[in-house]
């Protein structure tokens, strides 16, 4: 029986610990450079509407891919994304972290294992964590995670035989960050940008700082969060 293993706090990167739309706007700019001039202005306006808070897509990167992607060859999306991550690595983009996050994560030292899990490549992650003052409060970084499907392998690795409830996943994209851990019986904390989003999570708030108290309570007692039925998860989108 595992009894002395620290609980594992899994944190997403883009939109969770790293906020600000500069990286996705750089991505959009790079894609639009390859769009026919007659379409570029119209697509730019539609992208701006979505990036300024009216998006129907899971995140800004998805909005760019869905709106501008059909008008470029697939390689452009990959190259543009790599360019945006390169700009992060070069510390050329304005990014921020939610209020109080470095201090909050520091308070969990020795109480929880703090793991960053992101679909992003290595490029720009270390530099961004340094800019955000998070380098010393993250214990482990997993890049190229391939969420949601990648959690099938990652969760057993991260749990290492510990009970599922001893892992809590925090993120802003329900399908990627919340659904797989919830299916596996883990705890979840959802940063829900939409007031009427009824998809299940143990903790939810519009902003990460509003989740700190609940996360801290879970760290102190991983069995404290209520059980959530996963029977209907397959019908959630």
Digit-by-digit pLDDT tens for the chain (237 residues) are: 345 689 999 999 999 999 998 999 999 999 999 998 888 888 888 888 777 665 556 678 888 888 888 998 899 999 999 999 999 999 999 999 999 999 999 999 999 999 999 999 999 999 999 999 999 999 999 999 999 999 999 999 999 999 999 999 999 999 999 999 999 999 999 999 877 888 999 999 999 999 999 999 999 999 888 776 543 454 454
- The pLDDT assigned to 36 comes to 87
What Rg value do the Cα atoms of the chain yield, rounded?
18
In this prediction, residue 49 carries a pLDDT of: 78
For helices 60-67 and 74-89, the axis angle rounded to 10 degrees is 150
């Amino acid at each position: 029986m595992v009894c002395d293993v620290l609980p594992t706090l899994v944190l997403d990167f883009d939109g969770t610990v790293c906020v600000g739309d500069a990286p996705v706007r750089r991505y959009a700019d790079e894609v639009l450079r390859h769009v026919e001039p007659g379409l570029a202005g119209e697509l730019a306006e539609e992208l701006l509407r979505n990036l300024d808070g009216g998006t129907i897509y899971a995140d800004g990167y998805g909005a760019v891919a869905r709106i501008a992607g059909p008008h470029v060859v697939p390689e452009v999306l990959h190259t543009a994304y790599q360019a945006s991550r390169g700009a992060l690595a070069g510390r050329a983009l304005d990014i921020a972290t939610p209020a109080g996050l470095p201090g909050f994560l520091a308070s969990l030292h020795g109480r929880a294992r703090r793991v960053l899990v992101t679909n992003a490549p290595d490029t720009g992650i270390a530099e961004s964590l340094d800019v955000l003052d998070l380098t010393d409060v993250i214990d482990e970084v997993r890049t190229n995670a391939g969420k949601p499907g990648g959690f099938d392998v990652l969760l057993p690795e991260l749990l290492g035989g510990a009970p599922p409830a001893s892992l809590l996943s925090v993120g802003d994209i329900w399908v990627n960050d919340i659904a797989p851990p919830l299916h596996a019986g883990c705890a979840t904390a959802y940063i829900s940008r939409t007031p009427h989003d009824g998809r299940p999570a143990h903790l939810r708030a519009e902003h990460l700082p509003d989740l700190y108290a609940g996360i801290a309570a879970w760290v102190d007692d991983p069995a404290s969060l209520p059980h959530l039925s996963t029977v209907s998860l397959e019908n959630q989108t």
